[in-house]
Structure 1
Amino acid sequence: MLDPISLSAVSAVTTVLGAVGSGMANEAGKWAWESTGGFVRRIAGREVPAPTTPGELDDVARLMADRFRRDPALAASWTAFAARMSGGVPGAGRPVAFGSGQPSLPASTRFFTDRKEALKALDREASRRADGTPRLALVHGAEGMGTSALAVHWGAQQAGRFPDGQLHTDLGASSGPEGLREPGSVLRELLRQLGVPAEEMPTSAGRLGEFFRNCVADRKLLIILDHALSAAQVRPLLTSAPAVFTIVVARNPFPGLDAVRVPVGPLADKDAVRLLTKLLDKPALAEARAVLPSVLARCGGSPYALRAAAPRLTVPMSGRPADGDPVRGAAEDSYRLLDPETARLYRLMAVRAWPAIDSAAAAHVTGSTTEEAAARLERLAEVLLLECDTTADGHARYHYRAAVRRHAEAVAVQEDGIAGCSAAMARTLARYVDLSTSAAHQALPESWRVPALTATHGVRSYASRGEALDSLIAEAGNLVQAVHCAEEAGDPRSAVRICRSLWPLQLKAGHHEMLLPALRIGARLADAHWPGTAEAGALHAQLAHSLTELRRWEEAETEALAAARAEEESGHRRGHASATEFLGLLRLRQWRWTEAHACFDEAGAVLDAMLPTDEGTADVPRAQALLERHRGRALRGEGRFEEAREHLDAALRYFRANGDTYNTARTLTDLAETWLDTSETRSARPLIEEAITTLGGQSAEYHVAYLRGMRERCAAEERRDTD
């Protein structure tokens, strides 16, 4: 039977490990995780692998309970440690602070007609008495029937009901299988809309859902999940918070979701006429009386088709569209009125389901100027053949409705032929190869991982590293689509080049869930076409990095080992050392300190064997210094503090001498931690102060906050010693 203090300590084990494990999206969270692992090892008296599942967490708790039973002083020390760790770990339950501003919906349509019963159904579900089940409605209807417009319109009318904001996200079902979004990616977008910094979001998808639910638990929110495909896709995004109302929008009323069904069918003729009257005016409608029956028949009660038909109401229409799809019929009618160059742009950009089309991409595909392409894109938006999305920086980007893109693609095959479509796709792909390579080089110019520029690649200049990285972030969805495109087109070299250019995105901006499918394709193609080469090694290493950040450690280990094998077989020493270092960093996350140390020694030996002619030779001194830092971290985890400080001191000398303030601050933090592990606060304090000063002006808020917590810990321990 455990005494009360031991019971308290065991409870703290599960609480702190869960909280600290959720907070590894930033550097401070990683320090907290390593510190916790080292503390667990010292209490257990042996190396304890990091828990990754609830069952493994329980095993660690039972192990700790056994040690606490034997030595109550250990229980007291753990309780004190747990209090320090749980106090300021980002990602633990709720974010430190939400961003300013209130998330809002896209603009509602100006002219909205009928749908009274559907609106009443949403009213009833939103005002239903809370009973512990999610407030949830499934709005469903054929494409072009206004399902999304209905949800947004209702939200605009009910803004006062949701003072904490209204969230909207697209689940991607309208773009086909490749466009479907993983729950983790969707949850991160919703959290960003709430103002939660990426650094405070948990890294694992499982904890992300719990974190999201905690964030919205006491908020009054509307959440619209647009273009959903299935209950399985939606379920991880739901919350039973009493003041949150979720509207799911889908084509079909799929089973498996306990939601109020809100069907949206064709408008009755009288409501269709009412909508046309609002869009035009009564005199114009009177002039078109003769053709009105054919217009109504061809539009089939679709609000989209009616809106598209309104500007050309006096043009006779020949009955219903052949396939019975009013959206496709409306697209065909609008297409016939386009000038040849605008029609060509409409066709050729639809050969692939690009998430966001801008004037630069359109110009590249059609061989026009950017200004000409911008005017044609605007024209296509005017006739509803494209949807316009204005980005935060004011730039216009466009996308197709699914049925409209299918029409454009079919017309492209018919009018441009397979050869013309393939050529258009190849031109678009070439653009994204050039863009990604150029932006990656300028976002991370010192990295040997980014593929080299060649004479055949166009180079775009960016004003700064930040601008280059912003370009990669803005184009991330298109770059992932381009990798799929290259694979299908039988162009593995382009796929691999784009994937390697994603490295700055992975390293500096995350987006791991979004990039994972592309990286898997890249690694698979590299293995198929260039097995045992540096290309294959680089892709497996990148994949290992993202899987590690997502806490999918078993998969990450497989990829890191594959990277090391490929790099070693190819004789690419710098890549071999880096892949082995990746494996060591993974071992640190897993609290496998001895294996981590061995990996860093192995990587160091590979670097020592490098020749002056090897790629990446200029990077070796810095790489060796980083390995010294990593060795110090591994030795600290093993409890070998004096040896750890020797390696950390060596790394610190290099970083200071070379003006590397980022790694100087990180190493100072590591050193301070090793002194605090033995409660030597007077040695830790000056290191903490120097690290805080070094980070001044570097936008390192989380790191500085962690250092301030360490400083408070020093002060608290010193007060205890003097009491």
Structure 2
Amino acid sequence: MLDPMSLAAITAVLGAVGAGMANEAGKWAWESAGGLVRRIVGQEVAAPTGPGELSAVARLVHESVRDDPALARAWAAFARTAPLPATADGIPVLPPSIRFFTDRQGPMRLLEREASRKADGRPRLALIHGSEGIGTSALAVHWGCREAARFPGGQLYADLRGASAGTALDSAVVLRGLLVQLGMDQDDIPPGAADRRASFRRCVADRRLLVVLDHAHSSAQVQPLLTSAPEVFTVVVARRPLPGLDAVPVPVGPLSDKDARRLLTDLAGSQTVAAARAVLPRVLERCGGSPYALRAAAPLLLEPEAEGAPAPEPGPASAPALADPAPPRHRTGEAFSVTGRDPVRTAAERTYRGLEPGAARVYRLMSLREWPALGPDVVASVAGIPEAEAAQSLGVLAGGQLLELTDTGRYRYRPAIRGHAEATAFRTDGIAACSAAMTGTVRWYLRLAVRARLAALPQAWAIGPLYDELAGTSGPYGDEGEALTALRAELGNLVQAVLAAEEFGDPDSVYQLCQALWPLQLKAGHHDEILPALRAGARVVDTHHPGSRMAGRMHVLLALNLMELWHYEEAETHLTAAVRAEAEAGHRRGQASAVESLGLLRLRQWRFQEAYACFEEASAVLDGVGPDDEGARDLPRARALLERHRGRALRGLGGFPEARERLESALGFFRAGADPYNAARTLTDLAETHLAEGRPESALPLIDEATATLDKEKAAHHLAHLRALRERCLSAQE
């Protein structure tokens, strides 16, 4: 058994505590660790932010405890109850394979060879690459489903959305999704990218597992997702080879005419293919061996006489007729550039020309942004049609393979298909109509987000005209949890809405959408996914409204998000900007909140003296809030929170008597104000202070009271922290 006083054990404990900061209990443990390290070492020690710094801190602790039995006992008691690395015991499975799969024997042999290769320390890694619509994703999933018995530890699938650099997911976001698939609780996923990589590699180390990373953009995106675990086989899917990725190449090209004919026969039936033999050569030539194009062409074989004739252009009667499928166009600013013909675009054009006008219009107008998941509600609003009609149009588009059905029951475009739809929208509907559709989509998501935000955090304040309009109205959500679920379901769309509003010069929508994401920061931990939107919010406010209340709000939201991702220096920059903006705007309540947030950052960094100074400064700023000023009604609660924070900072500094005094003052307010959640948090802080002071008998009744309060709140992680505190108290009494 590892000696708990060894350098390796101390390093492991500090690493586990740092990785556990995804929930409030983990943050408590980290703050407690900082105070304990300070007392053991005898001086302030900056919180480590990387493996090198963590090893240095562990070395300081090791050198101090090995010659002092009292310090060793204190560290051992903490180490025994420190959070353990989160476990993941789920068995993930791949999405279902397609029913008809043709040929690809050569690529499958390459996959089989790499999967069966004897473990020699090198990662088992294959790269399937080929043009869009050629069947690379289908190959990866089909092979994985066929070989499911080979991987009893499960089969992970992640869509990296790498159609472009702008849509490619950050590896930390992908790792979060992989850990969830493996069965890790959302609140246990480490906040830092490095800790997520370590957790992922630990969770898969002894599994026989398949990992499919679909739609990869670059080797840089993929590298953090790799592991050298001997029984893990990773299959990367991309449009092209990825320089810098040492993987077995598995190129996928067009189907031969023989295999293309076989796929058409599977899809349409032998009698249909036989009846269409006159046009079959032309169909095969146009499809170019693309499985996507062949699947799109199969329904048309039911009416072979129409195969060679141009169909009327769908949509308004005034729209110009289209000739036989033209070369596709891509929008670049206000201009259009013509590219070469390809089977996927040709198939999309053929299918589009057969649509009814209503479905054709939906196809065009919803393609103007890469929305991750479209439902009939937003489509109905943007297209100005009943929701039932919108649902029917989406079903028609999915049936024609112009949209894909997602796991959530909503729809999305393939990248190349969206490019065709977007170019067609600008050609057919014009820039004004497309701009109106884009604006309408953003406004719809804005209204949904604001209503959900007001329901998810009814006590929290927000700035903006739509918040003023909807405040106090009854929304469609039964409770706070239901509203939070709605925000989580639309997260990808809301981030895209922020970026679209920035692009189209709509700062008010940017600000209000960013504030609507706050519950997902505070309660759901989606910090990585939200980050691009909050960065956009800071950019926009610095351009349009510097030195304003909104500038303060945007920079605080971004800073708090960065703090959770361990980007402490950048968080400090934005908090400083927020303090400056609120002061320039004369908004003292907001200024105090920004200074308070800077103090909370200092607590996270184990800089307790600076944290205390920030809380003192925030209190002095609150003294300047007049009785008629905005935020005046909230002053008693704000002061109580600052008292609690002061107590936390003093505990870290070892000033236990004054820390208890501050915490007891805050506790009295929360008890009197019927605020059980903050009362329980303060009771926990007070118990931590008694225990650090060497008075475990005084801590126990406080722990019991906090536990009784939180049992009703079902705060699982906080309760786990209280159980650990109780165990430390009992151990200290022995």
**TM-score normalised to structure 2 length:** 0.93
Q: Tell whether 2:313 aligns with 1:316.
A: no
Correspondences of 1:374-393 after superposition (within 5 Å): 374-391=391-408
Please name the residue that 1:260 is paired with.
248
Q: 2:105 aligns with which of 103, 116, 134?
A: 116
Shift in alpha-carbon separation, 1:205–1:364, aligned structure 2, 3 A: same
Q: Counterpart in 2 of 1:287? A: 275
Matches within 5 A, 1:177-326: 177-313=165-301, 314=304, 315-317=306-308, 322=327, 323-326=340-343
Q: Does 1:505 align with 2:520?
A: yes
Deviation at 1:625, TM superposition (A): 1.1
Partner of 1:553: 568
| C-alpha deviation, 1:456, in angstroms | 8.9
**Equivalence for 1:367:** 384
Unaligned runs of 5+ residues in structure 2 are 310-323, 328-339
Once the 2 structures are TM-superposed, how far is the Cα of residue 324 of structure 1 from its aligned partner? 3.0
Residues 548-697 of structure 1: pairs in structure 2 closer than 5 A: 548-697=563-712
- What are the superposed Cα offsets for residues 80-118 of structure 1, whole Å, 9 maximum, x if unpaired? 44444444544x5x41x435x531111110000100111
CA distance in 2, matches of 1:204, 1:365: 38
1:334 is matched with which residue? 351
In the alignment, is the contact (CA less than 8 A) between 2:14 and 2:58 conserved in 1? no
User: Does the 8 Å contact 1:631/1:647 carry over to 2?
Assistant: yes
Residues 410-433 of structure 1 show CA distances to partners (whole Å, capped at 9, x for unaligned) of: 100100011111111011111111
Cα deviation digits, residues 136-178 of structure 1 (max 9, x gap): 110111000111011111111111111221111111112x332
Q: Is the 8 A contact 2:78 2:728 kept in 1?
A: no
Distance of aligned partners of 1:332 and 1:423 in 2 relative to their CA distance in 1, 3 Å threshold: same
What SS class does the counterpart of residue 368 from structure 1 fall into?
coil
Q: Does residue 151 in structure 1 map to residue 140 in structure 2?
A: yes
| Counterpart for residue 461 of structure 1 | 476
- Structure-2 separation of matches of 1:403 and 1:83: 59
Amino acid at match of 1:521: A
Is the Cα contact below 8 Å between 1:187 and 1:237 reproduced in 2? Answer: yes
In structure 2, C-alpha distance between the alignment counterparts of 1:59 and 1:180, rounded to whole Å: 36
The code of the aligned residue for 1:293 comes to P
Q: CA deviation at 1:43?
A: 2.1
Residue pair 1:351, 1:409 contacting (<8 A) in 2 also? yes
Q: What residue identity is the alignment partner of 2:54?
A: L
Q: Tell me, which stretches of 5 or more residues in structure 1 are unaligned?
A: none
**Structure 2 counterpart of 1:29:** 26
1: CA distance between counterparts of 2:407 and 2:390?
16
* Aligned mates of 1:139, 1:479 — CA distance in 2: 32
Which residue is 2:158 aligned to? 169
Q: How many residues align?
A: 702
- The runs of 4+ residues in structure 1 deviating greater than 3 Å are 7-13, 61-69, 76-90, 317-322, 449-452, 454-460
Q: Which of 388, 401, 406 is residue 414 of structure 2 equivalent to? A: 401
Deviations 1:545-585, CA, capped at 9 Å, x for gaps: 00111111111111111111111111112211111110000
Alignment partners' CA distance in 2, 1:352 and 1:163: 39
Query: For residues 79 and 251 of structure 1, what CA distance do their matches in structure 2 show?
Result: 57
Letter in 2 for 1:369: P
In the alignment, which residue of structure 1 is the partner of 2:451? 438
Maintained 8 Å contact 2:325/2:350: no
Q: Aligned partners of 1:717, 1:399: CA distance in 2, in Å?
A: 58
Structure-1 separation of matches of 2:568 and 2:70: 30
Amino acid at match of 2:142: H
Q: Bigger shift: 680-689 or 40-49?
A: 40-49
Deviation at 1:717, TM superposition (A): 2.2
* Distance of aligned partners of 1:378 and 1:366 in 2 relative to their CA distance in 1, 3 Å threshold: same
Task: Write out per-residue CA displacement over residues 309-354 of structure 1, whole angstroms, 9 at most, x where no aligned residue.
Answer: 1001113248997433101001000000001111000000001111
330-339 vs 510-519, which deviates more? 510-519
CA distance in 2, matches of 1:456, 1:430: 14
- SS of the aligned residue for 1:351 comes to coil
CA distances 1:235-271 after superposition (whole Å, capped 9, x unpaired): 0000111111111000001111111111111000000
In the TM superposition, residue 359 of structure 1 has moved relative to its aligned partner by 0.6
The percent identity for this pair of structures is 57
Say which of 42, 46, 53 aligns to 2:43.
46
Q: 1:450 to 1:109 in 2, by over 3 A?
A: farther
Please give the per-residue CA displacement for 1:337-386, whole angstroms capped at 9, x wherever unaligned.
Answer: 00111100000000111111111111111001111101100110000000
Partner of 1:354: 371
CA distance in 2, matches of 1:84, 1:427: 58
Partner residue, 2:14: 17
1:81-160 alignment to 2 at 5 Å? 81-90=74-83, 92=84, 94-95=85-86, 97-98=87-88, 102-160=91-149
Q: What SS does structure 2 have at the residue aligned with 1:453?
A: helix
Is the CA contact 1:522–1:539 (under 8 Å) kept in the aligned structure 2?
yes
In 1: Cα distance, 2:375 partner to 2:150 partner = 36
Instruction: Give the letter aligned to residue 421 of structure 1.
Output: C
1:20/1:85 contact within 8 Å kept: no
The 1-side partners of 2:407 and 2:480 are apart by 24
Answer whether contact 1:163 1:220 (CA < 8 A) is retained: yes
Inter-partner Cα distance in structure 2 for 1:704 and 1:66: 33
Structure 1 counterpart of 2:598, one-letter code: L
Residue 77 of structure 1 deviates from its aligned partner by: 4.2
CA spacing shift, 1:108–1:594, aligned 2, 3 Å: same
SS in 2 for 1:177: coil
Name the CA shift for 1:270/1:320 in 2 (closer, same or farther; >3 Å).
Answer: farther
What is the CA distance between 1:453 and its match in structure 2? 2.2
Matched with 2:462 is 449
Partner of 1:514: 529
CA–CA separation in structure 2 for the residues paired with 1:151 and 1:57: 40
Equivalent residues of 1:20, 1:86 under 8 A apart: no
| Displacement of 1:78 | 4.6
Query: Could you tell me which of 417, 425, 437 is aligned with 1:412?
Result: 425
Match of 2:713 in 1: 698
- Looking at structure 2, the residues matched to 211 and 106 of structure 1 have their Cα atoms a distance apart, in angstroms, of 24
- Deviations 1:421-470, CA, capped at 9 Å, x for gaps: 11110111111111111111111111113645244999852111111111
Report the TM-score, using the length of structure 1 for normalisation: 0.94
Distance 2:283 2:220 in 1: 39
Structure 1 SS opposite 2:713: coil
